[in-house]
Structure 1
Amino acid sequence: MATLQKIRSKGPLLVIVIGLALFAFIAGDAWKVLQPHQGKQDVGEVNGEVLSAQDYQKMVDELSEVIKLTNGLNSLTEDQLNNVKDQVWQSYVNNKLIAEQAKKLGLKVTDAEIQAIIDQGTHPLLMQTPFRNPQTGMFDKDMLKKFLVDYANMDASKMPAQYVEYYQKMGAFWKFVEKTLAESTLAQKYQNLVTKSLISNPVSAEDAFKSRTEQSDLLLAGVPYSSISDSTIQVSDSEIKDRYNEKKEQFKQLVETRDIRYIDVKVVPSDADRKAVEKEVTEYSNQLAKTDSDFGTFIRSTGSSVNYSDVPVNKTVFPADVAARLDSTGVNEVYGPYYNQTDDSYNAFKVLAKVSSPDSIQFRQIQVYADTEEKTKTLADSIYNALKGGADFAAIAKIYGQTGEASWVNSQSWEGAELDADNSKFINALLNQPVNELTNLNVGQANLILQVMNKKGMQTKYKVAVVKRPVEFSKETYNAAYNKFSQFVAQNTTIDSMVKNAEESGYTLTPRTDLSSAEHYVGGVRSTREALKWIFAAKPGEVSPLYECGENDHLMVVALDKIHEAGYRDLNSVAEMLKNEIRRDKKADQIMADMKKYNSIAQVKGMKDAVSDSVKHVTFSAPAYISVTRASEPVIGAVAAKTAVNKVSAPIKGNAGVYMIQVYAKDKGTEKFDAKQEEATLNNMAVRIVGSQLINDLYQKAKVEDKRYLFF
């Protein structure tokens, strides 16, 4: 269990390292049973190689187990699972793209190379496994070998189920690590092959240094584009078409997207629903005052959203409204009922205990398990009596194939978690047992000989039974909302009629452009997969049936406006953006023609609608922010770097207006130029750029299909 605690403590960092090890290509609903779908059950394809729904599910399950193990979770939330699904898909695609390129180049990773990485023990991924020397903190291959030997020789029939499950999870985790090492090593080889071709030079290094360190202070005057009315600028269709052809490559999209409009109705509780919840919580608070045992059963019967824990915990574990009232409530006293506006709930709680409890506990244990319960008890009693008689703890532990080493456990590993009876019993034993004393604890099918070695961080902790009932709508309220919306949907079967009648009926028709099938929700509402499937099967102008979605608290109807197929966006979809761009350029031409008549900041200030400002510490490499036009203007930094002190620039076409600047001071700073360091910085920058762009280039050239939305 100490090993499990170590891996949990490194959980978040481990997931990050895994992501980084995959060449920075992995971008971070309850799992549903695979639904049948017409045709082959393939969730995607990369260059002709299909990924079946079954194989995809196995990969999602694998990563889900890793995340649960490393974070000490029993289950993942819907958002966490969606993130896992996306990570798995992106990782699968990236690895396939890299593997194809590596094969062409003759790159591969051998078992000997992976073993060499393990023997060396410095790979970041290995450093985040539990197989680390407790004295040095470094990866210990001998600890790994011992685990693998124990795992291979494990006799599941002679071990408690919980330990068999633990070893199986750890074994699956190590297989995941080995696979990830192989994939990341191949990716690293390919990355190195490409990035080693990118080199810097002393000239580029000096330019980069100057662009970063040389600063200019300047006076500025300009005329914003907003000073010219859009209505005075005419843009022809031919101009828009010409601009489209010039910038066509910018309008290429890799996947099909669709424009929709939808109505989302969230069902909310009625006044009668609120009064009913308030009445129930009032009754529960009266019962809570009379209850003096089996609080777990009672709290479950109330439908409280806060589980009961039979272990004292920090007040921060409780909801904020409960925590704020704990110190003013006495032991065995009931507080409430009361309403909490923050989470729209009615509440009552009873403080059962306030105790001083450790935040960290150091302990050691010997796990005892025999063929029968009677034999287990006899053996445990024998070991316990031997230890009480002065026998060496570590020596006896070694006899039974255990180290007996002491490990620390932090209260964060159990506080806030839903604990069963055995876990509560184990934790309470650790909390209540005096330091250096022994206890023989029966837990499930096994016995644990426990010795607490040290306790730290004594804090006031609380055992509280909480009834928290969020206000929820009743079945009658839901039916009323459903019937009303159902009638609207039946009477408005076209987009035009929806547009005409939605507001009058009390509904909002919301537009959404460029929805892709890779998104998990429609309109940010959970459980809308059926609506998403409809959207990507519908034709423009069609209106969907009514969908019940969310947490059974949303009703939705969707209309399909337009389909944007993979490839180049059509001219009409980007025409307005291009029109604004051309209009801005024409405004710039007008302003620049007028500004060219002047050769001083004072003269420009006299222009109609002119603005002025002073800007300090402008560099070539950092865009200057101009407060008077509220815009970032990179071009001003570039011009300032090339403009001599006291000189006035020519008119500058910027993002928000046309400017003229006068540099009145320059500062080279105190940093000394180091050519080698600067070249190394440029090389590292190039590597980062390649790392972020290379996979995108491979993706564009590959045939990738993502059909996960049909199944998951």
Structure 2
Amino acid sequence: MATLEKIRSKSVLLLVIIGVALLAFIIGDFFTSGRTFFGTGTTVAKVGGQKIDIQEFQRQMEVANQSAQQSGQKIDQALLQQQVLGNMVSEKLYKEELEALGLKVTDDELTEMMLGTGAPMVDQMVRQQVGVESASALHDMAFNPVKYGLDEQTAMQLRNLWINLENQMEQYLLQQKFQTLFTGTLVANKLDAKALYDEGLGTATVAYAHKDYTSLADEDFEVSDAEIKAAWNERREQFAIAEEQRRISYIDVDIQPSQADLVAAEKTVEEAIASLRNTPDTEGVAGNNLFVVDRSKTTAAAIRNSQVRAFADSAAVGSTALVARIGNDFTLAKLIGKSTEIDSINCNIFVVTAGRSAADSIIGQLNSGATTFEALSQNPDVAQPQADVKLSLTDPQLAQFKKALSDAPTGRYFMPDTLNPQNVLVVRVNSRQNPVTVYDLATIEYRAEPSNATINRLQASLQAFLNANTTAAEFNKNAADSGYTAIPATVSPSTPQIGRLNDTRGAVNWAMNAKKGAVSPIFGDEATGRFLAVALDDIYDDYVPANDPQTRAYLAEKVRNDKKAQKLISDYQGKASDLAGYAQIMNSRIDSVMVNFSQFSIYTPALGGPEMIAEVSCSEPGKLTGPVKTDNGVVVFNVVNVDNNGRPYSFDESATLFQRTRGAAALGNQIAAILLGKRKVENNILKFFRD
């Protein structure tokens, strides 16, 4: 009882302790997992009500990485992630649209696609992806495994393959339905088709004299801040941005060998050449990982590098030479041996999957004439029959069969592989190429790399510059004096790289979290091949402002050209009565251009953009018009004639042209943007991946 009384007397203190502990737990979890509270959680991107979870994104990234590896691509992970995320956003929007439209695939439609009228396409996919003859065969194997002697684990794998294939085909059918619906909504009516026909009926020949804005000095036409701001207000929506942008300047220092490094590299190469000449084979560079050796037996015709080929043709056995140097890359070659051999053969080839006894039987039938090579395609025990195949006997993959293929009599089928009991290779040598010279050739590649001293010097020099220039203003002002170039760029949460430079997302992430005017530390190292430093110049929220340097320059040119146009029009208006007179006083010449008003791009370098083409379309033939303002100068013109080609009107022809240029076919490649509409994508990728 005494103990209980003590506990009761301290109850308030206990509640306080428990409350503080609970608060500490919550605050601690907030700081260690900041995305959980009031943050992005596990959402890597969001558009409208659609979210993309990080785990779903990671699964897609695994597939993309596997695909990139299989194709041999080396791709920046940040760039690949943005591509994958963009595709996933498009898929979410597409799925949302399908649901809104109520589009579905019935069981009967899917069955017909898999096993009915769509089977030829699906069968081809099954053969390519699984190696099974048809979709129906795969289905039977997956759901009747006992019939084929398959264990449950294999059957389960086949069932999963079938389910994945069904999902693919369902998406394919949904896409077909959507495309049909989309195409049907944007078609030409009778008015559209006739208007398009009328626009394309006549081709106008326009004669003109032109005076370019560059004929007037820019300094004679000052542009004020107020004028630039007014021009920006007129074009305000042109500068709207979908997400926060940050204007940066960056210095990119390539980590390249110094002159001293190149001199050392040349000496290393000279020593390697001497060592190769004095030792057998390629022992002269054995164990030196800086030299990459590729040794092969080949003919002169098969050597792609012309300089290596010239060396092989002229060098004596044992010779070594530097055959090429491009920048920091050196190519050496050593002729290890030379012989006269049969280089290639023409043969028939196939594989017997039922073992050696079946292969013996088929060989006997072929050699006796009881069956033909063409008939093998009907034999279930034969795979991959190919006639008149050219095989190179210098191919390393055929090394174990080289003697058998070289010595075998022509015209007789045989098994060059005497050990393989299954999937037996059968060959008939049809003919052999005449003996040619075969070179035993080693090609050795060496790249000059920057020394540690060079790397340290480049890094120290950049660090000294950053230490002396700690604000964005100083960074930009003093870069050139220090031997650097401050390059402008813009980044956002959706930017995977700076200036298309690989492995620069760490710098992007810094820029998206830094304060205006800050200067970054050095990013990059020897592995990335560069050092990078960034200064944050400005931050833009909804619009790129008029004082952005590139925007300001663009608007200043527009305003200045308007002033030049007014000056030129005032100078020439009414000063001549014909085109020749205007050409003379404009110190120009008379040119001509053909204009058809249904052409896809209504722009010509001399006449300018759509407004000028519209002016031409409203002018009477023979009437002098101008001077009028264009994108790049002022023009005086007349329509010499309009050639009506006399092509009869066809609704079907014009409707097809409308579809291709203004209808669904023209808009199809913009479907993702159409589905997105005015919605913004919230891209949180930088909160999950920082480097």
TM-score for the superposition, normalised by structure 2 = 0.75
Amino acid at match of 1:515: V
1:602 aligned to 2:580? yes
Specify whether residues 474 and 228 from structure 1 end up closer, same or farther in structure 2 by C-alpha distance, changes over 3 A only. Answer: closer
1:78 aligned to 2:75? yes
State the distance in 2 between where 1:151 and 1:244 align.
Answer: 65
1:485 aligned to 2:462? yes
| Structure 2 partner of 1:21 | none
1:337 aligned to 2:294? no
State the distance in 1 between where 2:52 and 2:264 align.
Answer: 51
TM superposition shift of 1:414: 14
| Structure 1 partner of 2:424 | 449
State the distance in 2 between where 1:506 and 1:111 align.
Answer: 69
State the distance in 1 between where 2:96 and 2:621 align.
Answer: 56
| Structure 2 partner of 1:545 | 521
Of 168, 193, 197 in structure 2, the residue corresponding to residue 205 of structure 1 is 193
Over residues 467-497 of structure 1, what are the superposed CA-to-partner deviations in whole Å (9 max), with x where a residue is unaligned?
1102212223222322333333333322233
Specify whether residues 38 and 277 from structure 1 end up closer, same or farther in structure 2 by C-alpha distance, changes over 3 A only. Answer: farther
Q: Could you list the runs of 5+ residues in structure 2 that have no partner in the other structure?
A: 1-31, 36-40
Q: How do residues 48-67 of structure 1 correspond to structure 2 at under 5 angstroms?
A: 48-66=49-67
Specify whether residues 282 and 213 from structure 1 end up closer, same or farther in structure 2 by C-alpha distance, changes over 3 A only. Answer: farther
Amino acid at match of 1:258: R
Of 648, 665, 669 in structure 2, the residue corresponding to residue 688 of structure 1 is 665
Specify whether residues 695 and 393 from structure 1 end up closer, same or farther in structure 2 by C-alpha distance, changes over 3 A only. Answer: same
TM superposition shift of 1:581: 2.1
Of 127, 130, 140 in structure 2, the residue corresponding to residue 131 of structure 1 is 127
Specify whether residues 337 and 586 from structure 1 end up closer, same or farther in structure 2 by C-alpha distance, changes over 3 A only. Answer: closer
State the distance in 1 between where 2:100 and 2:566 align.
Answer: 52
Of 471, 476, 479 in structure 2, the residue corresponding to residue 494 of structure 1 is 471
| Structure 2 partner of 1:278 | 266
TM superposition shift of 1:439: 1.9
1:116 aligned to 2:117? no
State the distance in 2 between where 1:620 and 1:53 align.
Answer: 50
| Structure 1 partner of 2:184 | 196
State the distance in 2 between where 1:128 and 1:300 align.
Answer: 49
1:43 aligned to 2:48? no
CA contact (8 A) 1:266 1:555 kept: yes
1:472 aligned to 2:468? no
| Structure 1 partner of 2:238 | 250
CA RMSD of aligned residues (A): 4.8
| Structure 1 partner of 2:500 | 524
Specify whether residues 671 and 105 from structure 1 end up closer, same or farther in structure 2 by C-alpha distance, changes over 3 A only. Answer: same
SS of match in other structure, 1:592? helix
| Structure 1 partner of 2:597 | 620
TM superposition shift of 1:605: 2.2
SS of match in other structure, 1:547? coil
Specify whether residues 398 and 559 from structure 1 end up closer, same or farther in structure 2 by C-alpha distance, changes over 3 A only. Answer: same
Q: Could you list the runs of 5+ residues in structure 1 that have no partner in the other structure?
A: 1-35, 133-138, 369-379
TM-score for the superposition, normalised by structure 1 = 0.73
Of 130, 134, 141 in structure 2, the residue corresponding to residue 143 of structure 1 is 134
| Structure 2 partner of 1:404 | 383
State the distance in 2 between where 1:412 and 1:537 align.
Answer: 60
Over residues 289-322 of structure 1, what are the superposed CA-to-partner deviations in whole Å (9 max), with x where a residue is unaligned?
57767x7x99884436766365758867755543
| Structure 1 partner of 2:543 | 568
CA contact (8 A) 1:604 1:660 kept: yes
CA contact (8 A) 1:288 1:350 kept: no
Over residues 200-232 of structure 1, what are the superposed CA-to-partner deviations in whole Å (9 max), with x where a residue is unaligned?
134433443454453232321133233344444
Over residues 74-126 of structure 1, what are the superposed CA-to-partner deviations in whole Å (9 max), with x where a residue is unaligned?
x43125x6665444322211110011122122122345434433446669986
Amino acid at match of 1:474: S
CA contact (8 A) 2:205 2:592 kept: yes
Over residues 653-672 of structure 1, what are the superposed CA-to-partner deviations in whole Å (9 max), with x where a residue is unaligned?
21111212122233334755
Specify whether residues 523 and 578 from structure 1 end up closer, same or farther in structure 2 by C-alpha distance, changes over 3 A only. Answer: closer
State the distance in 1 between where 2:238 and 2:391 align.
Answer: 50
Specify whether residues 174 and 359 from structure 1 end up closer, same or farther in structure 2 by C-alpha distance, changes over 3 A only. Answer: farther
Q: How do residues 208-287 of structure 1 correspond to structure 2 at under 5 angstroms?
A: 208-212=196-200, 214-233=202-221, 235=223, 237-286=225-274
State the distance in 1 between where 2:79 and 2:468 align.
Answer: 39
Over residues 584-635 of structure 1, what are the superposed CA-to-partner deviations in whole Å (9 max), with x where a residue is unaligned?
233333433454425421332243x4423321433224467766x5x74444
State the distance in 1 between where 2:56 and 2:105 align.
Answer: 23
| Structure 2 partner of 1:24 | none
TM superposition shift of 1:561: 0.9
Specify whether residues 398 and 617 from structure 1 end up closer, same or farther in structure 2 by C-alpha distance, changes over 3 A only. Answer: closer
Of 559, 566, 588 in structure 2, the residue corresponding to residue 589 of structure 1 is 566
State the distance in 1 between where 2:392 and 2:519 align.
Answer: 50
SS of match in other structure, 2:622? coil
Amino acid at match of 2:325: N
SS of match in other structure, 1:568? coil
**Of the two, which has the highest radius of gyration?**
2
Query: May I ask how many residue pairs the two structures share in their alignment?
Result: 631
Amino acid at match of 1:340: R
Q: How do residues 81-92 of structure 1 correspond to structure 2 at under 5 angstroms?
A: 84-92=80-88
CA contact (8 A) 2:277 2:320 kept: no
Of 97, 100, 103 in structure 2, the residue corresponding to residue 101 of structure 1 is 97
State the distance in 1 between where 2:328 and 2:159 align.
Answer: 42
Over residues 436-488 of structure 1, what are the superposed CA-to-partner deviations in whole Å (9 max), with x where a residue is unaligned?
33222658xx8652123578997988663211102212223222322333333
SS of match in other structure, 1:91? helix
TM superposition shift of 1:541: 0.8
State the distance in 1 between where 2:268 and 2:384 align.
Answer: 51
Specify whether residues 411 and 496 from structure 1 end up closer, same or farther in structure 2 by C-alpha distance, changes over 3 A only. Answer: farther
Q: How do residues 329-478 of structure 1 correspond to structure 2 at under 5 angstroms?
A: 329=315, 332-341=317-326, 344-350=329-335, 357=343, 363-366=349-352, 390=365, 403-407=382-386, 436-440=413-417, 448-452=423-427, 464-478=441-455
